[in-house]
Structure 1
């Protein structure tokens, strides 16, 4: 699992930072990439990176401001041609887009006006507070933010990986592979024909806890931020302003780097990555944002365009350890 920042600027592109787009690369986990916001020229940023548009299966839009959505029509159109995986007789893979109610109308209006006909299906899911996606591997929840417009933070939770059945131990006890192995794998207690009792939990390896990524963009302070970021392995948080401009941040519905750090600390996050940086903070001035944040939350970094952050798998833990915690 990796985070690649395709754009890290706020409001408008600059020479140093494109506008917002973040790729969550789940290549090892499910051979997919999920995008969070698609600012202007995101497709150009993808051409400079190792992330391929054909791998993008889901897009999560936080809100309808232009620096977060103006790159979406171009990305969807280019995806027709840029080496998309071909299935079903030559059609690129389908795509699901999650976002506010107005998003579908915006996308289809632009494509219709430009007379673009996509070769693949785009499925829209209107976002609401709560769980918006859930399968055996991951869940994604949305949290309403405070930005003066319908706006959401996203919390991605990887499901715990169940430990492997320790087959050799069972074979050493004289058991033969069959339906009984499935019961043991499920942690059941089995009584054998010879009277022996097998506790399934003693023959299943350690569980590996899933990772949590929270993405909080374009919002002033609101309690829902802490809920979205609770115990996150990585909190990606906007830091449009430095800590000395909290009044300006509140006026425009944004956060400071210090507020981002305070949120990470309150939420019990393990790491913080600052993004959505105003163009006023050039060079060493951006370093000041990190310095201020680190005074509150030491494990803070600032993202730059095309920078990749690895989110390593957690160490395995036995079920009794997890339950005790």
Structure 2
């Protein structure tokens, strides 16, 4: 599983940073991509990757500002001609998203050749998505905005084949049968399968924020605690904490301070203002000392399993 950044910039795109779009690549695990936000020119960004639009089956929109949704109509239309025919697509997002999509397609007289379902999200809504539980947390942005917490299901531990060999059970299809059972019999003796299974593999936790002011409430911090990947905006990079707050955004040093005790494994900083030069960003990156990474377009970050 990996996290791909198709657009890392804030509201005004630059030559180097497109507006915000992300992909959780879980094709190897679950044969799909999960798209989060749809910045302008999304369909063009995808052309520079190996992402197949037909394998995007779920989209999560954090909020309805244009830099997060203006790429959606073009992508939906292109998907219809890029292997998506007949493959259902579901879109989750704030109230008003369904009306905006329906109006756009009605006025442009566009049609899709696959089922489209738009689900309007409510605060603290829980969503079951294949092998993930998704939790929507409301944010502070002056417009309805959400963070989405994707918690992967736990997996049964590895079969301890060395113990089976000690019993004289040789490798073969029987190993799969044993792992799927509660008990098994060998040489007339009954064994408990859990005694031959390693520790449970904890599912990965990925938290992706929309635009927002920093939230310092304990309940919120507890909900994102222990994220394998924490994605948060920092539109401001130069200690303009008050200005960031006034504009319903966040500043990078404040983000680091607030998340200091959240126990994340990886922190990815996104939604970077176009006013910052490459030199500005290099300087800030050098000061992070491994606490976070500032994203750039087409950045890919592996999200390994929690194997002990």
Same fold? TM cut 0.5: yes
Q: Does 1:249 align with 2:241?
A: no
Q: Is the partner of 2:208 in helix, strand or coil?
A: strand
Checking the alignment, whether the CA contact within 8 Å between 1:10 and 1:279 is kept in structure 2 is: yes
Q: Which residue of 1 aligns with 2:226?
A: 231
Q: Which residue of 1 aligns with 2:304?
A: 312
Q: Which residue of 2 aligns with 1:88?
A: none
Checking the alignment, whether the CA contact within 8 Å between 1:261 and 1:272 is kept in structure 2 is: no
Q: Does 1:94 align with 2:88?
A: yes
Q: Which residue of 1 aligns with 2:110?
A: 116
RMSD: 2.7
Aligned in 2, Cα 1:225/1:278: closer, same or farther, shift over 3 Å? Answer: farther
Which of the residues 276, 297, 316 maps onto 2:271?
276
Which of the residues 206, 214, 223 maps onto 1:221?
214
Shift of 1:40: 0.8
1:214-269: per-residue Cα shift (whole Å, max 9, x none)? 11121002236524421011111101002421111001100011122223323211
Q: Is the partner of 2:147 in helix, strand or coil?
A: strand
TM-score by length of 1: 0.84
Q: Is the partner of 1:274 in helix, strand or coil?
A: strand
Checking the alignment, whether the CA contact within 8 Å between 2:24 and 2:35 is kept in structure 1 is: yes
1:120-147: per-residue Cα shift (whole Å, max 9, x none)? 1111112123353225621111111010
Q: Is the partner of 1:49 in helix, strand or coil?
A: coil
Q: Which residue of 2 aligns with 1:258?
A: 253
Question: How many residues matched?
Answer: 304
Q: Distance in 1 between matches of 2:179 and 2:107?
A: 60
Q: Distance in 2 between matches of 1:312 and 1:262?
A: 25
Q: Does 1:53 align with 2:53?
A: yes
Q: Which residue of 2 aligns with 1:286?
A: 281
Q: Distance in 1 between matches of 2:66 and 2:151?
A: 28
Checking the alignment, whether the CA contact within 8 Å between 1:143 and 1:152 is kept in structure 2 is: yes
1:127-181: per-residue Cα shift (whole Å, max 9, x none)? 1233532256211111110101111001111111102445785586489x9xxx9
Q: Is the partner of 1:96 in helix, strand or coil?
A: strand
Checking the alignment, whether the CA contact within 8 Å between 1:229 and 1:264 is kept in structure 2 is: no
Q: Distance in 2 between matches of 1:199 and 1:46?
A: 49
Runs of at least 5 residues in structure 2 that lack an aligned partner in the other structure? none
TM-score by length of 2: 0.89
Shift of 1:184: 7.6
Runs of at least 5 residues in structure 1 that lack an aligned partner in the other structure? 86-90, 318-325
Q: Which residue of 2 aligns with 1:64?
A: 64
Shift of 1:289: 3.5
